Amino acid sequence: MPELPEVETIRRDLTPLLVGRRVARVRIHAGGERLAVTDPPRTLERRLQGRGVVAIGRQGKYLLLRLDDGLTWVIHLRMTGSIVHALADAPPGRFERARIDLDDGATLRFNDLRKFGTWHLVEDAAEAMPHSGPDALSEAFTPEWLLSRLRGRQTSVKAVLLDQSVCAGVGNIYADEACWIASIDPRTEASRVGLTRAKRLHAAVLETLRASLADRGSSFSDYRDGLGAEGLHHVRVHVFRREGQPCERCGAAILKARVAGRGTHFCPRCQRK
């Protein structure tokens, strides 16, 4: 599940390998057609051919490839996608859905077991991510902003954290981790969180994202960085997929429940409502 730290790691890996390079050819394989959102696959391949990559940006979980014709190639990996830089003769993986040949002879392989990943080619990146709010690591994501989005909501704190219009880039792993760091029960009704706890939750979101980024992300299943390697952070999480194991803070067994439609992990003793 590539979330903010994973997508940012990929962005940093690919930037020196891609910026200044040109796309020689793109092939979307049979079975991978759903990737192409803004155009039919053959059209998208043709529109990308010959384009130079000027910069790589990121907004939440979206990767933004700025092209030399002013367009942006917006890539979302969803749950099982990866983009791996590889030699031209490297054999395709079982789940390779598309291949990008670069003008220096290297390639990018787009792998995606579940085929949920998307490519948009747009004038303005916002067209491809109309519901995205401030990136969780941007200056626009403040305790006051978070409080304003918690206030008056009848839903859970977990649901608010997963809302990409609130803090873009946070997904299921880091929502659970942030709640544990802040000692807040993820089932807590959002409107019950005041300024004190909103500040704590805000700091916890930054803390978990930065810690994972320092470890090049978490590889619970399919995540790979821009060179095909796993992240290191999944062994350092506090609660995610640790049900039944003792809480590092109080020793109680970590519980798993369904919150906001997602598997949610928390300590029933020291995370308070």
Partner DNA sequence: ACTATGCCCTGGGTGC
Partner DNA sequence: TGCACCCAGGGCATAG
Q: Alpha-carbon Rg of the chain, whole angstroms? A: 20
Binding mask 82-111 for DNA (x = CB under 7 A): ------------------------------
Rounded to an integer, what distance in angstroms lies between the CA atom of residue 270 and that of residue 249? 8
Shortest spacing between CB 60 and DNA, in angstroms: 6
Q: Residue-wise over 250-268: b if at least 16 C-beta within 10 A, else e?
A: eeeebbbeebbebebbbbe
β-partners of residue 36 are 119
Which is closer to DNA, CB of 102 or CB of 150?
A: 150
Please identify, using beta-carbon distances, which residue of 35 and 102 lies nearer to DNA.
35
Which residues partner with 53 through β-bridges?
67
Q: Is 162 in the site for DNA (CB under 7 A)?
A: yes
Q: What is the dihedral of CA 23, 95, 209, 195, to 10 degrees?
A: 110
Per CB under 7 A, 172 contacts DNA: yes
When asked if residue 29 is in the footprint of DNA (CB under 7 A), the reply is no
| Of positions 42, 46, 114, 210, contacts DNA by CB under 7 A | 114
> What is the distance between the alpha carbons of residues 145 and 265, in angstroms, rounded to a whole number?
25
CB closer to DNA out of 24 and 113: 113
Residues in contact with DNA by the rule CB under 7 A: 1, 3, 31, 34, 60-62, 76, 78-80, 113-116, 129-131, 152-156, 159, 162, 164, 171-173, 190, 258, 260-263
